[in-house]
Structure 1
């Protein structure tokens, strides 16, 4: 599961874990990736603590497109940042 937070400058990845009770998600993120320029984020977030970070993302295969009004355009992370089993559809 991948989670964005508009009030933070990153997205987090949580991995599924099987237990006796079925499928659960990790309590602590398995990975975090910074989205935009920290200086821009700090300027926007300084005015409104709920803004500046990523608003939306799309996953296709092992590529992630991240969108935010504060970014001039969305960008795609095409590196293999995460193990394929971590992204559950």
Structure 2
């Protein structure tokens, strides 16, 4: 004789009832702030400055994946400022 097998339920699983079974909501990441183009290209008071972080922050220039400790004092944006990759200059010129 064959034993009756429990049938698997079909369809979408029911929602969990206990709080321990529920997943925690994902935390939102902080949005990056970019300066207005008028402010970024005004050619006034944009000075490079060093931050106090031990590790470099990613350069915010598009298509650059470098790490830097330099940021623009007016725009508050981290940009590379090295001889072979000067994103600071490129970001403030048209």
TM-score by length of 1: 0.24
Larger Cα Rg: Structure 1 or Structure 2? 2
Higher percent of residues as strand? 1
Please state which structure has a larger fraction of its residues in helix: 1
**Structure with the larger RCO, 1 or 2 (CA within 8 Å, 6+ apart):** 1
